[in-house]
Amino acid sequence: MLVADTLDLEPSRESAHQRSRQSPQVAGQFEICRNAARKVLSEFKGRLYEELSKLDGSGEGIIAAGVLLDNLISRNFRDVEPSELTVLVSSCDRGNHGVIVLENFEKKLLDMA
């Protein structure tokens, strides 16, 4: 069994109704994540999983959240602030396990965008 199989890191959809009932701070974070997700996906041009899987030394499709964040920040994406990437990566580590399942990360970004 892969480590990814034991973690509850599946992407989740939030309906517009749920977002409308959220506090302004949570709604603001969702907007930050959505904007960052769109920019990151655009910059990777369909090669997100392929590029990020190079960071996975174990081959299980899992990388440390900090490693992912550092890698994204080092790419100096146009119009994406490091603080936006921090919010984005944090939102994808739902259980605060400190790891990101790459397949689910890509799905979550597509879901947000």
Give the model confidence (pLDDT) of 4-16 as tens digits: 444 444 555 554 4
Record: fold of 24-112: Recoverin; domain 1 (1.10.238)
What pLDDT is recorded for position 19?
A: 47
Angle at 68 between CA 86 and CA 104, to 5 degrees: 95
What pLDDT is recorded for position 1?
A: 44
Q: How would residue 35 be classed by pLDDT, with cut points 50, 70 and 90? A: very high
- Residue among 91, 92, 84 nearest 62 (CA): 92
Entry pTM: 0.75
Q: What is the rounded CA–CA span in Å between residue 68 and residue 51?
A: 11
Domain ranges for the chain, please list them: 24-112
What pLDDT is recorded for position 22?
A: 56
